[in-house]
Structure 1
């Protein structure tokens, strides 16, 4: 037994040495003999934070090699070359490691299918009541407030019932688990980009409480789907997300775990992104009272209370400019949305890129570059209203370009317009005067928001 043990230990040591040697050879080959070798980039580039990637673009230019087979672009031309419908030749291919639900979700979120203003108004009005009542008790944690309403809207549009967050005034356990998982998915992605072998370490990084929560989350997801399936068509005749998914279930060969994955992806992308944008906008309005005064005046001069606001009445020019500006300053997704160059290669920003290369535009680098905008790190809604403004506003495409645009942008715009217009009947100020949103935001798969605590005063117009 002793000899076997020694041999086993020796064998394991040799295995690890061999593995390390192979990884080193593999990495050296990818670095120096890969078709993308000519493109500049940091030698350790394997997918980093938004600020690090911008620093690389500032140093190397508008195209940077961020991994052995991946290029990041930072130019307005690249938006069109990568994401738009191409006049000739095949479109760039979506990376299916990131996109698995587009066809199904495009049915469910087409403008005619689920543009349900009454649902948004219901939960927005409930949130206004909650803010009024809770602010009388002390300062408010606005990150939670926006998550309550956006998740409840998506819950009703997905499962036919809300999560109950606005009414309970606390996040649902299902939602909490989803948001916790985002960080660990980012860890897995980073390990995989170093080398697929390293992704096996992922299971050792997950804390026990997250494993337990994940099991609970999967169980709850399946229960929600089964409950929705058993419920059949809604009595009010309203179509929700799963009305369309059920119609496609047999045709697409979907299983329960497919539908659970769809619901997770849809609710994370559809709710957390809007809530993050709303939190960031609230921060900047608190920081810049002169801008908030303009927005309040635009809304309050036309309406006496938030109860009068609808999606049509919320199409104010300055409010719309403020949304454009916060979407530029804080693109909803902190990383570039990957596309794969078709076989045979193609041109991006007048450069030939080999087929099979993963390419993307890093929006944050592009919209924070002084080559494209004056004072790019400042929140200036007026840049979207001045016809003589020389900023390259086309550099900002937070929802990508048609026909590949975010399938939920119509809903997102409606939610943001309604919520911001109704919020204009409150005055608020930051509790933590040292808070810096750009400095304190962390970029994983989604933004990890800094804590936004505010003091709130209701201001209905007499």
Structure 2
């Protein structure tokens, strides 16, 4: 009887094992045949690129999760050229012409819309300026926000930028005068201080209250959580390529994390509410959202929920990116003493008579070398090293002379373009001289043939960076005040000096310490 029962059990298990084996064989065979199709018969099969990336999305996702994706793209572009197939259905470009072909709106043609995989709004949240895929919807939101970012508005907002640039100088003076300083010189990580400044500026301009990072000499909890969530966002984006995996990932989010996300968002909602309840008028960004005697949207330029989520996004877009560029510039300046000395002399000579009080946004416009330093910093340390995908419109489209089928995701590799030796003389070197007038006018200049039009740190088209005037103002003013007040040197330990090329990209650029030596100006 026992043997019969064992035999029955074995007889029952055998068909089950066979079914599992057959199912696995079918899945493996399907994946293999699908990979063969992708490599040899897919409509994109003629596009250059490694076969492993063409066969499957897995190499792309692996590079994305490792944070090496822009560096991997750069290597592949060197091997395969400016047009590169990076997945079975996706193409990326390291050609300056791609900016206009993909991002500009042309009369009589259908625009390339944002790829929903990257730009879809968060579940349960309304559309924001960044997530809005529909062009008309985006245009309505941008029109409402634009008055807060005009040159005229910036002139009225200058006082806020000065306030926090001066507070940054005050905090660094305290560091230089502290007991830890040796002979008046201290070595510190400059990057957090730059982040403190840009986040405080946008907090005041956006919500009428700063994040008090400079005041407390530490990150506000909201900002600290933001930085911690960046890498997690990369995992979420990766999961969207596999809907079943995204579904499972969303189901696995613990209630505590969901509550943390809700609380994170609620802090912005509360800041917006407090700012909208101000009785006095302020020349800040939020003021453009308030329309007195307008019954629509309770007197607001946009529905309140759209304002909440848009300003949450703008905190990052308007702060983290500017701090990234500033950090990169300071890193290159301290490692290039000749450049540092030249731009420092320009600032100090310009305001020699009137002193620091004469430093203003208008007066800084005439400092050509300072502008060149910032521009070169934007080239090598672009805060957005990879312009995320748009979709080729239905019916197909042409990018850089290549005809592509409708629905194809296409992106732009700013990091690769900005370091392409075919476009730039000594492309990996920090050389602000390439942006001076002589470089473009003098045939004998080694920089005469540089493709200056290839640099588009704020992108182009109807979705270009709304806050680029503010970003330029912050970079000019903060750098000028730092160069006026302090002497900067590289860190004494060469092993602690950051190589920008070593930073990974998790949608945003990775943050590692930028150690500099600092002493008060003699």
Q: TM-score, normalised by structure 1?
A: 0.87
1:358 to 388, 392, 409: 409
Structure 1 equivalent of residue 208 of structure 2: 160
Structure 1 equivalent of residue 106 of structure 2: 86
- Structure 1 window deviating more from structure 2 (31-40 vs 312-321): it is 31-40
TM-aligned CA deviation for residue 86 of structure 1: 2.0
1:121 to 153, 162, 165: 162
Q: Secondary structure at the match of 2:72?
A: helix
State yes or no: 1:412 paired with 2:471.
Answer: yes
TM-aligned CA deviation for residue 420 of structure 1: 1.0
Q: Secondary structure at the match of 1:312?
A: helix
Once the two structures are superposed, the pairs formed by residues 50-449 of structure 1 within 5 Å of their partners are 50-96=70-116, 97-98=118-119, 99-101=130-132, 102-103=138-139, 104-105=141-142, 107-110=144-147, 111-112=149-150, 114-115=153-154, 116-137=157-178, 138=180, 139-193=187-241, 195-200=242-247, 202=249, 212=256, 215-229=259-273, 232-238=276-282, 240-244=284-288, 256=305, 259-304=307-352, 305-315=355-365, 316-385=367-436, 386-387=439-440, 388=442, 389-425=448-484, 426-431=486-491, 432-434=493-495, 435-449=497-511
| CA contact 1:222–1:260 (8 Å) conserved in 2 | no
Cα distance between partner residues in 1 of 2:172 and 2:236? 37
Larger gyration radius, structure 1 or structure 2: 2
Number of paired residues? 451
44 and 419 in structure 1: CA distance in 2 versus 1, 3 angstrom threshold? farther
Cα distance between partner residues in 2 of 1:433 and 1:29? 51
| CA contact 1:177–1:213 (8 Å) conserved in 2 | no
Cα distance between partner residues in 2 of 1:177 and 1:171? 9
Q: Secondary structure at the match of 2:494?
A: coil
107 and 430 in structure 1: CA distance in 2 versus 1, 3 angstrom threshold? farther
Structure 1 equivalent of residue 125 of structure 2: none
233 and 294 in structure 1: CA distance in 2 versus 1, 3 angstrom threshold? same
Cα distance between partner residues in 2 of 1:390 and 1:300? 32
Alignment deviations for residues 23-53 of structure 1 (CA, whole Å, 9 cap, x no partner): 6665554444432121121234344411110
TM-aligned CA deviation for residue 19 of structure 1: 6.3
TM-aligned CA deviation for residue 105 of structure 1: 5.0
Structure 2 equivalent of residue 450 of structure 1: 512
RMSD value, Cα: 3.2
Cα distance between partner residues in 2 of 1:123 and 1:223? 22
| CA contact 1:334–1:444 (8 Å) conserved in 2 | no
For structure 1, the residue ranges without an aligned partner over 5 or more in a row are none
Cα distance between partner residues in 1 of 2:51 and 2:240? 17
Alignment deviations for residues 45-95 of structure 1 (CA, whole Å, 9 cap, x no partner): 344411110111111111001122221111122222112232542232233
| CA contact 1:177–1:214 (8 Å) conserved in 2 | no
Cα distance between partner residues in 1 of 2:311 and 2:413? 26
290 and 197 in structure 1: CA distance in 2 versus 1, 3 angstrom threshold? same
255 and 26 in structure 1: CA distance in 2 versus 1, 3 angstrom threshold? farther
For structure 2, the residue ranges without an aligned partner over 5 or more in a row are 1-8, 64-68, 120-129, 133-137, 181-186, 443-447
- Structure 1 window deviating more from structure 2 (29-38 vs 62-71): it is 29-38
| CA contact 1:306–1:421 (8 Å) conserved in 2 | no
- Structure 1 window deviating more from structure 2 (267-276 vs 183-192): it is 183-192
